[in-house]
Structure 1
Amino acid sequence: MYISETKIVVRYAETDQMGIVHHSNYYIWFEQGRTDYIKESNMSYSDMEERGILMPLAESSCKYIQGAKYEDELIIKTWVSHLSPVKVVFNYSVIREKDQKEISKGSTVHAFVNKDLKIMNIKKTHSDIYEKLQTLM
């Protein structure tokens, strides 16, 4: 199983009054990890969209274990735990680099749909993309 790693440094604007990263930022980081994961399969979200494949979010979860703070250097580990012709499940682990402590973990579920937002079977319609994603599992 392939695990992508995305490095992020917490910006001041991402913290709240308590000096801890606001919870909403984790989903932004998950998206960056997911984008990097797909790029590492030699395609991009833009490539997929140009070919008529959209990936709307169907479900998300995040467990906050410990807060990140301003200037913390983080690693977002991203991997696919489930791939079917109609959906994909991405998993994430947010690691604070200095002590290698997992501070958060989560997942997102995405459907494969066409531009009319109808579920599509990408194994049938875009077998090359399905195979690229499958090789990373």
Structure 2
Amino acid sequence: MTPHHHRVQYYETDRMGITHHSNYIRWMEEARVHFLSEIGWPYDKLEEKGIISPVTRVNCDYLATSTFADEIRITISVAAVKAARLIFSYQMVNDKGALICQAESHHTFTSQAGDFVNLKRQFPDFYTRLMTLSQTN
């Protein structure tokens, strides 16, 4: 998968001139949207099929700072997938090659009514695609 690239915007920085920590969570979502589109399962396709994927947990290790105009390369991978759960891993590297953030996001799958969706049974093509990309496969 091709990494997602994000250029740090001025409004994403704080009074100290560094990127505010909350923006890394937003960048993770940008990378997920990019990733799902690349594998042929963009968010709009999932929603058309009645699948929602709420975030249930986020872990971020901030290893270095980023500042205005830095180009951030975000590599995303499938850390684990189960019938109704998915974990993504993220590596964020600045344009100087420094690893600035390692993170994970945990997701579940539900219908729009809030019922759990078993991907393995109800959407086997999507489940199989995720499994082929999974690090725990």
Q: TM-score, normalised by structure 1?
A: 0.93
Counterpart residue identity of residue 30, structure 2: Q
Q: Which runs of 4+ in 1 moved over 3 A?
A: none
Q: 1:132 Cα shift?
A: 2.1
**Aligned twin of 1:82:** 80
Structure 2 unaligned residues grouped into runs of 5+: none
**Aligned twin of 1:131:** 128
**Aligned twin of 1:16:** 14
**Aligned twin of 2:91:** 93
**Aligned twin of 2:43:** 45
**Aligned twin of 2:108:** 111
Structure 1 unaligned residues grouped into runs of 5+: none
RMSD, matched Cα: 1.1
- Write out per-residue CA displacement over residues 87-124 of structure 1, whole angstroms, 9 at most, x where no aligned residue: 00001111012x21101111000001111111121111
SS in 2 for 1:76: strand
Please say which of residues 14-23 and 122-131 is displaced more in the overlay.
122-131
- Distance in 1 separating the partners of 2:129 and 2:100: 30
